[in-house]
A = this chain, B = another copy of it.
Amino acid sequence: MARVVLGMLGCGTVGTGVIRLLSQHNTLHLKKVAIKDAGKQRAVTLPCPLTTDPAELVDDPEIEVLIEVMGGEEPALTLIKKAIDKRKHIVTANKEVLAKHGPELFKLSRQKGVAIFFEASVAGGVPLISTIQKGLEANKINSVVGILNGTTNFILSSMEEKGEDFQTALKKAQELGYAEADPTSDIEGYDVAYKLSILSALAFGKFAEPKTIFRQGIAAIAPQDFINAKQFGYRIKLLGRTQMNERGLNTRVQPHLVPLGHPLAAVSGANNGIVVNGDAVGELTMIGPGAGELPTASAVVGDVINLESALGLPDFASYFQAAISPSFADLADPGDWVSPHYIRLEVKDTPGVIGRIGTAFGNHQLSIRSIIQKDASQGQASVVVMTQAAPTRNMDAAIEELKQEQFLRDQAVVLPLLEATS
């Protein structure tokens, strides 16, 4: 087989892993790597010349496949578009570029007859994308629900296991290199929203524009929420979920109470775990490393090898992405989302509080499964409410009503429950 000529944009953690793995495949020839800082020490010896000018790769007619592992929106987006314009196939790990500009990129790639492979952009080493695209080809996908961010899963696992508060667990994750100095993208759910945009394209044919995806981060969760959850038989996990129903695409990032017997409850530390529900297969769970040098490089190089094998296909570009439409999906109103909820209210311990909480929920058609007052001391108490399934809109309205009450001491913590069969 002729050697496929590759170029690579970026050589950080993932790029280093790619170089390690490519050395085992002699049909693949890495011609040049573009980097930002030519003076930086690297953990691998590069098998090819370096350049600080990415145009040298994008404009090189000999390079057939461009690997993009630089990350971030720009200049990655501009470089990928130029490379597609020059009819290069793209292998990318860049969730942000795909999530925000997927429709434009896929439209362009179809016009130019090239392929975009992106296994590494979601769930790192877990071959989730090829599983949805090829392994579940005979299925209509109903939903995808998962733990898609290792950083927040690590933090939540620490809080649960060690009773730490959020700030302590975050600081430890930063010290261990699991969380970045600015952790906003992880803890506020942006990272998961990018991944959900891509998963929506695979499962339902259209990207979900990240800024339109409902997001709730993990910063408001406190140690007592884990204790409360455990008493009811749950664990707290940040989930991304996307699901098509009659009102449109429901796509959201939100910490959930996950039942202990559910396969996602067992996903601990920095791992990712995803449940895909297909009309024929039922529920398929995949669990594995969501990040890291070699796992992510495993996905990138797997893409390169699969792309190489398929290069001879007559209708090559459409073989891999015919089903992805070049437009963003219309998302359903997040208030329509129906779920049971866990609510923790910090209140002044005065007579009649439980009654007024119950009334507020009743005013918005929320049935209560259980209501428990806990930890009453020094005139303060914690009230934990578990509701039956109801639209999020009603939940929000009930909480709004309670905010008018003098007895509410703090923001309510409101978390949906993942049902045993999602």
Q: Is the interface of A mostly helix, strand, loop or mixed?
A: mixed
Chain B residues within an 8 Å CB radius of A268: 261
Given contacts A261-B266, A280-B298, A295-B281, contact A134 B306 (CB under 8 A): yes
B281 adjacent to A284 (CB under 8 Å):
no
11 contacting pairs across A/B (C-beta < 8 A): A131-B131, A138-B305, A263-B263, A266-B266, A278-B298, A279-B294, A282-B295, A283-B288, A284-B287, A285-B285, A312-B314
Q: Answer whether residue A108 sits at the interface, using C-beta atoms and an 8 A cutoff.
A: no
Of residues 301 through 334 on chain A, the ones whose CB sits less than 8 Å from some CB of chain B are: 301-302, 304-306, 309-310, 312-315, 319
The residues of B that contact A285 with a CB separation of less than 8 Å are: 285-288
* CB < 8 Å neighbour of A297 from B119, B138, B297, B305: B138
Q: Determine whether A130 belongs to the interface, using a CB cutoff of 8 Å to chain B.
A: yes
Which 10 residue pairs are nearest across A and B when measured between Cβ atoms?
Answer: A127-B135, A138-B301, A280-B298, A125-B281, A284-B288, A285-B287, A137-B302, A138-B302, A312-B314, A280-B294
| Inter-chain pairs besides A137-B306, A285-B287, 15 sampled, C-beta below 8 Å | A21-B280, A127-B284, A130-B135, A136-B298, A261-B266, A261-B268, A279-B294, A282-B289, A282-B292, A283-B289, A284-B287, A285-B285, A285-B288, A312-B313, A313-B313
**Closest residue on chain B to residue A292 by CB atoms:** B282
Are A294 and B281 within 8 A (Cβ)? yes
From A309, which residue of chain B is reached at the shortest CB distance? B319
A146 near B: Cβ within 8 Å?
Answer: no
Bound Cα distance from A268 to B314, whole angstroms:
44
Cβ-based interface call for A17 (8 A) = yes
Please report the C-alpha to C-alpha distance between residue A266 and residue B288 in the assembled complex, in whole angstroms. 15
Q: Is A126's CB within 8 Å of the partner chain B? A: yes
Q: Which chain B residues border A130 with CB–CB below 8 Å?
A: 130-131, 134-135
Counted per complex, copies of this chain come to 2
Closest chain B residue to A119, Cβ basis: B135
Q: Which B residues touch A284, using CB under 8 A?
A: 125-127, 286-288
Please list the residues of chain A having a beta carbon within 8 angstroms of any beta carbon in chain B: 17, 21, 24-25, 119, 125-127, 130-131, 134-140, 261, 263, 266, 268, 278-289, 292, 294-295, 297-302, 304-306, 309-310, 312-315, 319
Q: List the B side residues contacting A24 at CB < 8 Å.
A: 140
Report the minimal beta-carbon distance from A136 to chain B, rounded to whole angstroms.
6
Q: How far is the CA of A48 from the CA of B297 in the complex (A)?
A: 47
Chain B residues lying within 8 Å of A131, measured Cβ to Cβ, are 127, 130-131, 135
Q: Which of A287, A289, A304 counts the most chain B CB atoms within 10 A?
A: A287
**A309 vs B138: C-alpha distance when bound (angstroms):** 13
A312 cross-chain contacts in B, Cβ below 8 A: 313-315
Closest-CB distance, A291 to chain B (whole angstroms): 11
Closest to A129 in B: B135
Nearest B residue to A130 via CB reads: B135
**Complex Cα–Cα for A125 and B137 (A):** 11
Complex CA–CA separation, A282 to B312 (angstroms): 31
Chain B contacts for A313, CB-based, 8 A: 310, 312-313
Question: Which residues in B have their C-beta under 8 angstroms from that of A134?
Answer: 127, 130, 134, 302, 306
Q: A283: nearest residue on chain B (CB-CB)?
A: B288
In the bound assembly, the distance between CA atoms of A304 and B280 in angstroms comes to 15
Q: Closest residue to A260 on the B side, CB-wise?
A: B266
B298 touches A281 (CB 8 A): yes
A215 to chain B, nearest CB (A): 28
A288 to chain B, nearest CB (A): 4
* Smallest CB gap from A17: residue in B: B280
Contacts of A283 in B (CB 8 A): 288-289
Complexed CA–CA distance, A309 and B321 (Å): 12
Task: Give the shortest distance, in Å, between A110 (CB) and chain B (any CB).
Answer: 16
Bound: A138/B315 CA distance, A = 25
Whole-angstrom CA separation of A136 from B119 in the bound complex: 11
Closest to A300 in B: B138
A320 and chain B: residue at smallest CB distance? B309
